[in-house]
Structure 1
Amino acid sequence: MIKLVLSDMDNTLVPLGARHVSSRTVDAIHAVIESGVRFGPDTGRDYVELMRFFRMDESCFMTGIFSNGKRVRADGAYVSTTLLDHDALVRIDQALRGEKGMFLVCYPVDTNLLNPAYGVGVTSAELAVFEARTGFNGGVVDEVPDIDFVAATIACPGGPERMERCRQVVAEAAPEMRIVSPIPEWFDVLPRDVSKAAGLDVLLDALDVDLDEVLVFGDAENDLEIMRKVPHSVAVANATPEVAAAACHHVGACADEGVADALLEVVRANAAGEDPSFFAAS
């Protein structure tokens, strides 16, 4: 029986660029929770962004893996928080200065619902492109501020070759860090030992839930580790080919509210003592 459902956000639970999760999806999340199954995001997004996505309905993310594993929340309490090393961010910024179009964006741990972020060594016009695409409010600075950051991202305009170049640059400048791509032309910066998969270990210990009682939905590179870890991984129909191949099960596309359909099927199946129908379909 499924006891915990985790879902990526962008292009899995909510279309990229949409301001809010659909009302039908929120209703499906409430139905899952009311049936006794915990639900939460496993996402690169953090608390204030989730407040916006869920229209201030915190009941939808009392449990979850936030900021790609840098924060883990269980029943309303943070059980793990990892901040980014300032020196590593400085080295990454300096290395990116020589790469056309690439720049670092840093998100402070002390934040608010406006989701302010620092675009480092970039023009306002360049920053605005990615502000609109990913939903943050940026300010331009000349260097990485000396404050605590819970997240950082890298803008990397261009095709796969440019993204591969970015991986090389970061690996050389800060080998203790790694980058994963949730959407094209965009990377999340993580310590090497932090991931959604590592966050899942912390969460399962806190909740006393077994791995085979977890259902995970995803669509992109930053979902691969956690999806390979659980027996019941689910790719939405718009997932990347690599994620689709890694997933054990498959559901409808994000734009068609495939996760909402699957959540309602989990409620039905648990009540009937059965596996969800999309298990057999896979």
Structure 2
Amino acid sequence: MIKLVLSDMDNTLLPFGQTLVSPRTVDAIHEVLDAGVLFGPATGRDTVEITRFFGGDEDCFMTGIFSNGKRIRARGSYVQTTLISHDALVRIAGALDAERGMFVVCYPNETDLTNPAFCVRATKEEIAPFERRSAFVGTVVDEVPDVPFIAATIACPGGPERMDRCRAVVAEVAPDVDIVSPVPSWFDILPAGVSKGAGLDVLLDSLGLGVDEVAVFGDAENDLEIMRKVPYAVAVANATDEVKRVARYRVGASADEGMADALLEVARATRAGELPAFLREEFR
């Protein structure tokens, strides 16, 4: 039986750029919770951003994997927080100075609902499209501030070749971090070994659950590791080809509220004492 549902946010639970989870999806989450199944995000977003997405409805994120595994929450208690190395961010920001249009965005651990961020040696014009797309309030700085950061990203405008170039630059100057791309032209920076997948181990241990009791939903590169760890890995219809190859099951697209349909089916099946219908037919 499924006892925990974990869902990526952007392009899974809601279309990228949408500022609020739909009322129907929120209602479906509550149906799952009322059926006795835990629900939580497994997301690159941090908890303050998630508060905004759910309109302050904390029941929707009492449990979850946040900031790509840097923050773990189980039944309302934070059980792990991992900050990003200041030195690594300085090295990456310096290396990207020679790369046209690329820059580091740093998110302080002490934050608020405006989602403030420091953009290192970028122009306001360069920041603007990413600021609108990812919903942060950017401040241009000459150096990485010496404060604790829970998250950092890299803006990388351009196509796949530019993304590959960014990966190569970061790998050379900062082997102590990993970068993953949740959406085009954008990387999340993670301490090496930190991921949604590693966060799953911590979360399941805290909850006393096994990998066969969780369903994980996702769409992009930063979902791959966690999806490889569970039998019930589910791709939304708009997922990347790589995610579809890893996931054993499928549900509808984010734009069509496929997650709301899936969550309602989880609630129904749990009350009936059976496996959800979408987990009975593999797509591999």
- Fold shared by both chains (TM-score > 0.5): yes
* C-alpha distance in 2 between matches for 1:275 and 1:56: 31
| Structure 1 unaligned regions, length at least 5 | none
Find the counterpart in structure 1 of residue 245 from structure 2.
245
Task: Provide the residue aligned with 2:209 in structure 1.
Answer: 209
Q: Distance in 1 between matches of 2:141 and 2:129?
A: 16
Q: 2:244, 2:212 → 1: CA distance?
A: 20
Letter in 2 for 1:32: V
Q: Using the alignment, how far apart are the partners of 1:59 and 1:279 within structure 2?
A: 25
1:97-132 per-position Cα deviation (integer Å, ceiling 9, x unaligned) = 000010000000000111100010000111111000
Question: Which residue matches 1:219?
Answer: 219
State the match for 1:57 in structure 2: 57
Distance across 1 between alignment mates of 2:135 and 2:173: 28
The one-letter code matched in structure 1 to 2:235 is A
- Alignment match, 1:128: 128
In 1: Cα distance, 2:197 partner to 2:4 partner: 14
Partner residue in 2 for 1:191 = 191
Amino acid corresponding to residue 24 of structure 1 in structure 2: R
Give % identity.
69
Match of 1:157, SS state, is coil
CA distance in 1, matches of 2:208, 2:281: 29
Structure 1 residue 279: Cα displacement: 1.5
CA distance in 2, matches of 1:249, 1:147: 42
Shift of 1:190: 0.3
Residue of structure 1 in register with 2:75 after alignment: 75
Aligned twin of 1:254? 254
Q: Distance in 1 between matches of 2:172 and 2:219?
A: 28
Could you say what secondary structure the match of 1:13 adopts?
coil
Aligned pairs (5 A) from 1:5-44: 5-44=5-44
Q: Report runs of 4+ in structure 1 exceeding 6 Å deviation.
A: none
Q: Aligned equivalents of 1:124 and 1:20: distance in 2? A: 26
Shift of residue 281, structure 1, vs aligned partner: 3.4
**What is the rounded CA distance, in whole Å, between the counterparts of 1:68 and 1:5 in structure 2?**
16
State the 1:273 CA deviation: 1.6
| C-alpha distance after superposition, 1:41-70 (max 9, x if no partner) | 000000110011001111100000000000
Match of 2:47 in 1: 47
Letter in 1 for 2:254: C
Q: Secondary structure at the match of 1:132?
A: helix
Q: Which amino acid aligns with 1:151?
A: A
Map 1:173-192 onto structure 2 (within 5 A).
Answer: 173-192=173-192
- Which residue is 1:106 aligned to? 106
Q: C-alpha distance in 2, partners of 1:270/1:147?
A: 45
Match for residue 115 of structure 1?
115
- In angstroms, what is the RMSD of aligned CA positions? 0.6
- 3-state secondary structure, aligned to 2:48: helix
Q: How many residues align?
A: 282
Paired position in structure 1 for 2:265: 265
Residue type at the aligned position of 2:183: I
Amino acid at match of 1:248: R
Separation in 2 of the partners of 1:32 and 1:273? 13
Unaligned segments of structure 2, at least 5 residues: none
Question: Residue 20 of structure 2 aligns to which amino acid in structure 1?
Answer: H
Once the 2 structures are TM-superposed, how far is the Cα of residue 280 of structure 1 from its aligned partner?
A: 2.2
Partner in structure 2 of residue 91 of structure 1: 91
TM-score by length of 1: 0.99
Match of 1:137 in 2: 137
- Give, in whole Å, the separation in 2 of the partners of 1:266 and 1:19: 25
CA distance in 1, matches of 2:193, 2:242: 22
| 2:279 is equivalent to residue 279 of structure 1 | yes
Deviations 1:194-238 (A, max 9, x none): 000000000001000111000000000000000011000000000
Distance (Å, rounded) in 2 between the aligned partners of 1:129 and 1:259: 28
